[in-house]
Amino acid sequence: MAQDDAATFHESAARPAEGPGEGQSRRTILLAMSALLMGLLLAALDQTIVSTALPTIVSDLGGMRHLSWVVTAYLLASTAATPLWGKLGDQYGRKKLFQAAIVIFLAGSALCGLAQDMGQLISFRALQGLGGGGLIVLSMAIVGDIVPPRDRGRYQGLFGAVFGASSVLGPLLGGLFVDHLTWRWVFYINLPVGVVALAVIAAVLHIPRHRAKHVIDYAGTAVIAAVATCLVLVASLGGTTWAWSSPQIIGLAVLGAVLLAVFIAIERKAAEPVLPLRLFRSGTFSLCSVIGFVIGFAMFGAMTFLPTFLQVVHGVSPTLSGVHMLPMVLGLLIASTASGQIVSRTGRYKVFPIAGTAVIIVGLLLLHRLTEFSGTLTMSVDFFVFGFGLGLVMQVLVLVVQNAVGYEDLGVATSGATFFRSIGASFGVAIFGSIFANELASKMGSALLGKPVPPGFDPKLLQSDPHSIAALPPITRAAVLHAYSGAITDVFLYAVPVAALAFVLAWFLKEQPLRGSVRAPDASETYASNPVERTSREEVARALSALGTKEGRRDLYQKITDLAGLDLHPASSWLLLRINRYGSAAPQLLAERASVPPHIVYQAAAETELRRFTRREGLVLVLTSEGRRATERLVEARTKVLAELLGDWWDPKHTTGDLHDLLSKLSGQLCGDDHDRPSGSRSWSQERAS
């Protein structure tokens, strides 16, 4: 009998939880996760890896005026495609869609590497962006399919690490490939990594079938993408390719306005609008969208043109230009992490958008003051200040939006806020590029006036091929470098009024008490340029899964024990919940296999027996009738702890719905596992020592 009981316990302990991850071994899940992270890394890197290669690319292909579109095409395509990838994945299965996204991304990468002119490269970058948007959206959605909610918090750190690493590695890798291979390897490197990811996904990824029907807003998606494209074209081509008063620019502006009106009409009637208009009734959402637009505008505008400043004006290698960019990335990561921690502990957030936009203004002014004579220390400090300002705002904006909306709008509000940041990034790169091209044309004429040039040298070459500067005599070269320096740094001055608008708007944000579940914004929502696409249920699961981390579990057992009104050590509550979940528990086996110290397990078992909450049947403990009543109180308390974190998202009057279903599943999964370590183990150890 005792052996049967032990075997039963072994079986129940090994039995996987129902739902996501069911029937999949830990090794299989880790292999699938590695493939997902590879796909995510590819897409995230391609937002930053190109920046340090751009000066070499435009020298090879020509077209300095269109430099910004190499970045803008990718950003616009990934932004526009994001809502479609998310809903199509729900409807037709995420595995097939993820494989399709990898194939599209790899095809775009191969074609970018083969491009023979700027027109081809820009077109192929758009194709690459189309796949890249799917890689980011679907990789994070698939995690929810294969990992139980209780374990999701552990993997969120990996995704955050990928986004952080891409910010650091992107500029460095771009420079290394240009210096030691060719710029084309910036794109070719995606092919072997992508093929490995594709093979692993095909072999090991098994996603439970629970497809959802959607009325996909194809028309709204297409029209908002067209609106953004028209306005970005006006911003980038106006005053450069065509005059501001030209029929082409006026026509694009009018077309953009007409399409915007069409988009509003479509969204009013759409069953599942890509951007619900009701969100704009919230002043907080509207303000955060504008401020987020400015953050994307400033960040990607700077990241695109600072490597050009370093390589052309200061003559550093592409690799070293990536190294010079590290202080900006470091400032961004430090400030975003610190601001998130401070907000989590204090519940106060309004100061960060205000302080962040103020520091961004200071950073832009410092960048404007840079010249060809600025030293490395000066540039590093200026880059750090600018990045620090961005970091103070990025982490907090998503948190503010999530805290301001009801549960039904949580998913679309998060997606909407990040959408505007992505559009801001597209505008920033395009407008910075337009200003740079205009300023360079103006300053270059003055720089060459009366200066000697080699026989047969075409001065127009200086605006399309920066490497041609090396052929100039020293006196002419110095004047041209000064023109380049002024043209690039002037764009930062033009960005100051935009940042000042964000600073003024930040003062109008209303500070409200924070829900416990929105105190930890996802890295994918703060570092990535393209928007996220998740439902309200997925957002809540992501937020509450933080309780599945070691830090989240630390005080959980103490809280539910106190709330249940039981005079027990938290470790005993852990044991009762475990027995409740599996039907029985063998203290000897738990002492060997659980992460809880053996003496804590035995003391918990002794306490539950002494209180007559459990009785022995052979080698295992089972609940008594009194123990079942105590455990019911613990289960109820456990659900209340989760509900308290949800704040007014939780409506106790309704006992049905996806939120209640999620809370019930999380409540059952977050306690009583082999790897749980109740915080009470520490207090019992201290009692024993004393």
Token pair in block for residue 231? 């306005």
Q: Is the pLDDT of residue 436 over 50?
A: yes
Taking CA 329 as the corner, what is the angle to CA 325 and CA 333, rounded to the nearest 5 degrees?
170
211 against 639, higher pLDDT: 639
Predicted TM-score (pTM) of the model is 0.75
- Give the separation between CA 511 and CA 344, rounded to whole angstroms: 14
* Contact assessment for residue 16 and residue 78, using Cβ atoms and an 8 Å cutoff: no
Q: Is the pLDDT of residue 638 over 70?
A: yes
Taking CA 520 as the corner, what is the angle to CA 517 and CA 521, rounded to the nearest 5 degrees?
110
Task: Dump pLDDT digits (tens) for 183-230.
Answer: 888 888 888 888 888 888 887 777 766 566 667 777 888 888 888 888
Mean pLDDT of the chain: 76
- Identity (one letter) of the amino acid at 347? G
> Could you give the percent of the chain with pLDDT greater than 90?
4
Listed range (95-104, 136-145, 471-480, 599-608) with the worst mean pLDDT: 136-145
Mean pLDDT on 385-395: 85
SS3 (DSSP) at 63: coil
Token pair in block for residue 592? 């060997």
Question: Number of helices and strands (H, E) in the chain?
Answer: 28, 2
313 against 688, higher pLDDT: 313
Task: Dump pLDDT digits (tens) for 126-182.
Answer: 898 888 888 877 877 777 677 765 566 566 667 667 776 777 777 778 888 888 888
- Give the pLDDT score at 26: 66
**564-574: burial string, b at 16+ Cβ within 10 Å, e else:** bebebbbbbbb
- Identity (one letter) of the amino acid at 494? Y
Task: Dump pLDDT digits (tens) for 243-260.
Answer: 777 888 888 888 888 988
Name 242's bridge partners. 238
> Which pLDDT band, with edges at 50, 70 and 90, does 384 fall under?
very high
Mean pLDDT on 418-438: 81
- Give the pLDDT score at 23: 47
Residues 6+ apart with CB under 8 A from 315: none
Token pair in block for residue 126? 């758009």
- Look up residue 16 and give its DSSP letter: P
> Which pLDDT band, with edges at 50, 70 and 90, does 394 fall under?
confident
